[in-house]
Structure 1
């Protein structure tokens, strides 16, 4: 296994449990991007502000809040979640799972052959490339010389800058704008295509309004045309509308690239620097021994989805190696079917955005007979109890021909807690008439399920 992030660890674990001897190669920290530079530190940066805002939104608790956010305490708490970028405990877990850990840079030098800093390893059955992705830096004049931040710098910063320019409108950009503005930076965000593209349009609209209320300077519909690091160590960003923004730092969050450029893929006839194209068992097309799991295959760039793929890949590698029967039908044990139509995702802005499956637009483009049902989350008794200023919206996307949900989106405080029920409904293809019998507790925000079904009507 090349890459000992959360996904690589799980591929190795499932293959080991399946009866194989596994070596796990890592050039950086065991635990990877999610543990040290993405999921965990980013959410730690956001959570303190989220908790403070929640208290201020409830009468009685609001009056008890007498202080402001302790920024250094937030950074210290973030550091605790990354174990101060020390991977000792994760390396111990690998050893305890019976997996051999090899530290160094891995290069594929032949079929089933991997060379790690001069040491040649030959796999009996398979090699899995689980190398993840890295930040894309757009080709903007002066940008690279301006020493831009990527998501790694934003989540590991030791000091909050007075001002920050963020380029991009996706999850990383929206979350870091939320975090840094509340941690005391003056944030400007430039997003050529708006916010949270690919989500339901109302999700981006709610986040846009929330960021504006926080004081973020939103520049939507524009992009950088030139970036200069000045002699005073400031960043001067010229935008496509002719305006100029001067900040202490610039964070680029405009997409991801696969970490395959120095993997040695050219040695086995695969184009380096490209995403690995795989089938539903995560086997790279054109091979019978190379697997691509997690971000590197570009199916769903999410840790939880990568770990889901890892289970399927680890088990199918072991099954093929030992000649065991495969379950490769849709939703079988050895395939990653959910990657196609049931991917859950949470954006931890204020408000949160939680979604699973297809948007209405995506479903229509697939030729599905779509019916959309919307409901104002603020109208629920449970919402008004949770917050005196609750704002939110819910949407389900129904396949009318089959009377099942194919997508759901929730926007509002703590709506991530609603997501798994929606995921089960989509994955399980639970008929609408059966969902009527899943009674939500009152008064909770889960009552949204009853209200959505009421609005839909009896099938």
Structure 2
């Protein structure tokens, strides 16, 4: 093979994160020749700078918090966390930022890997360095997103953290300012406060986790405050400077905060600015609009999966989309998929609309699926929210003293199905899939009575929610 050679494939995938990997897995399983192009590490953001390292940092934090609520155990865990050991375990989860294992996996499914920056060069054509790859059936963009920094003068000289630096740091800053109130901000504030930083969280809006029910952010903020963090809402950042290793932040209220590091967790932008979108008439740097088969609007060969289509910036949803896209590409290649296919088939990403689940691994955990009460009302549904104090559930008592949490289900009063469910409390992340099945499956409330929760587990919250709906 010469460097200038043009190589033809059935499918070319731009991006080898978990989403691109899953696209390749499905297209290869269907017998389609597949090339995967990656400019960084195979496994992408999730494996090295997001899901895996962040949860590895948080697991000891949550385990210690749970232990401290249990008489007979709390006395054994009163000391500080061993930050070096936590970081070492985190490093193991990332493979020390090497991707040999992931490369072997791609080779094992029969996909060809091209390392380098891939760019579209017209319809069904991708260049990687001096090589040109052509796609008989589809090009799939799975390039993900990057962190967005605010347009503050001199910010580059401050060398601020983004999610990448926060999840890969090998040291614990003595003082850390976290700007933002979303998932990254909340989880990293939780982790570094527990690891020994003095954390200040600056939130422009009214509270944390504003895409969930308001009580979720309130309970997490309360717990962060009790742990020693300073959480300030309604606070903007006017300037940031660094001198002699110290970061100075000036807020909109004129307050000055000094820190050793500052993390900006203030949004994401699609990594589509330099992938050749202009060669096919699309705007560089734009989000890519897709139909439910993940095909980009106005094309019959270009697909976009994961963060770049802006439907749900979550790894599990991206992998779900990848499975849908792979099945749709294979079916179209075989001539067996017609537009207007069954919306609940393997070729339609129906769950991206109103049934997206998410877990925030804070202390307490927050988990939600579907619509919040406000979102359901805004969508025009006639709904009622049913709330239960999680501490009333028998299983909560097993988590120790002072359990704090809350559960809500949003009931569609006309169809008597659930439009959304939210849980906050220790251990609730493991409850969310049952809620996802109820919401995505449109399970009638009357039938949920026959899904009997095991005693004594946190799942008994379902019985308490149903009783509250019946009795009020």
Sort the TM-score into its range (normalised by shorter chain): over 0.9
Q: Secondary structure at the match of 1:124?
A: strand
Whole-Å Cα distance in 1 between the matches of residues 246 and 76 of structure 2?
39
Give per-residue Cα distances to partners, 1:368-426, cap 9 Å, x unaligned: 01011000001122101222120000000011100000100000001001100000000
2:71 to 56, 59, 65: 59
- 1:101 counterpart = 2:113: yes
Aligned match of 1:346: 359
- 1:306 counterpart = 2:286: no
- 1:234 counterpart = 2:255: no
**Equivalent pair of 1:141/1:225 in contact (CA under 8 Å):** no
Q: 1:166 to 1:7 in 2, by over 3 A?
A: same
Q: Secondary structure at the match of 2:92?
A: helix
Aligned match of 1:434: 447
Report how far residue 458 of structure 1 moved. 7.6
**Equivalent pair of 1:433/1:458 in contact (CA under 8 Å):** no
Report how far residue 18 of structure 1 moved. 1.3
Unaligned runs of 5+ in 2: 1-12
- 1:211 counterpart = 2:224: yes
Give per-residue Cα distances to partners, 1:301-344, cap 9 Å, x unaligned: 00000000000001111111121235732222101100001000
Report how far residue 272 of structure 1 moved. 0.4
Report how far residue 66 of structure 1 moved. 5.3
Give per-residue Cα distances to partners, 1:235-277, cap 9 Å, x unaligned: 1111111101111111000010000000110011000011011
- 1:83 counterpart = 2:95: yes
Whole-Å Cα distance in 1 between the matches of residues 154 and 241 of structure 2?
6
Q: Which runs of 4+ in 1 moved over 6 A?
A: none
2:255 to 243, 249, 252: 243
1:40 to 52, 56, 60: 52
Aligned match of 1:455: 468
Whole-Å Cα distance in 1 between the matches of residues 421 and 78 of structure 2?
38
Whole-Å Cα distance in 2 between the matches of residues 87 and 378 of structure 1?
43
2:132 to 120, 138, 141: 120
* 1:8-23 equivalences in 2 (<5 Å): 8-23=20-35
Whole-Å Cα distance in 2 between the matches of residues 343 and 288 of structure 1?
27
- 1:144 counterpart = 2:174: no
Which deviates more from structure 2 when the two are superposed, residues 327-336 or residues 12-21?
327-336
Aligned match of 2:62: 50
Report how far residue 37 of structure 1 moved. 0.4
Give per-residue Cα distances to partners, 1:170-219, cap 9 Å, x unaligned: 00000000000111111111010121111100001001101101111112
- 1:69 counterpart = 2:81: yes
TM-score by length of 1: 0.98
Q: Secondary structure at the match of 1:296?
A: helix
Whole-Å Cα distance in 1 between the matches of residues 125 and 197 of structure 2?
48
**Equivalent pair of 1:352/1:412 in contact (CA under 8 Å):** yes
* 1:224-373 equivalences in 2 (<5 Å): 224-230=237-243, 232-326=244-338, 328-373=341-386
Report how far residue 142 of structure 1 moved. 2.3
Q: Secondary structure at the match of 1:138?
A: coil
Q: Secondary structure at the match of 2:438?
A: helix
Aligned match of 1:412: 425
Which deviates more from structure 2 when the two are superposed, residues 55-64 or residues 163-172?
55-64
**Equivalent pair of 2:68/2:78 in contact (CA under 8 Å):** no
Aligned match of 1:378: 391
RMSD value, Cα: 1.1
* 1:181-200 equivalences in 2 (<5 Å): 181-193=193-205, 194-200=207-213
Report how far residue 69 of structure 1 moved. 1.0
Aligned match of 1:179: 191
Q: Secondary structure at the match of 1:261?
A: coil
Whole-Å Cα distance in 1 between the matches of residues 135 and 335 of structure 2?
17
Count of residues in Structure 1 that have an aligned counterpart in Structure 2 = 458
**Equivalent pair of 2:80/2:195 in contact (CA under 8 Å):** no
Aligned match of 1:162: 174
Aligned match of 2:3: none
- 1:7 counterpart = 2:43: no
2:144 to 99, 108, 132: 132
Whole-Å Cα distance in 2 between the matches of residues 405 and 431 of structure 1?
8
- 1:221 counterpart = 2:234: yes
Give per-residue Cα distances to partners, 1:36-55, cap 9 Å, x unaligned: 00000001111101111111
Give per-residue Cα distances to partners, 1:102-155, cap 9 Å, x unaligned: 101001011000000121111111100000000011112222221111000000
TM-score by length of 2: 0.96
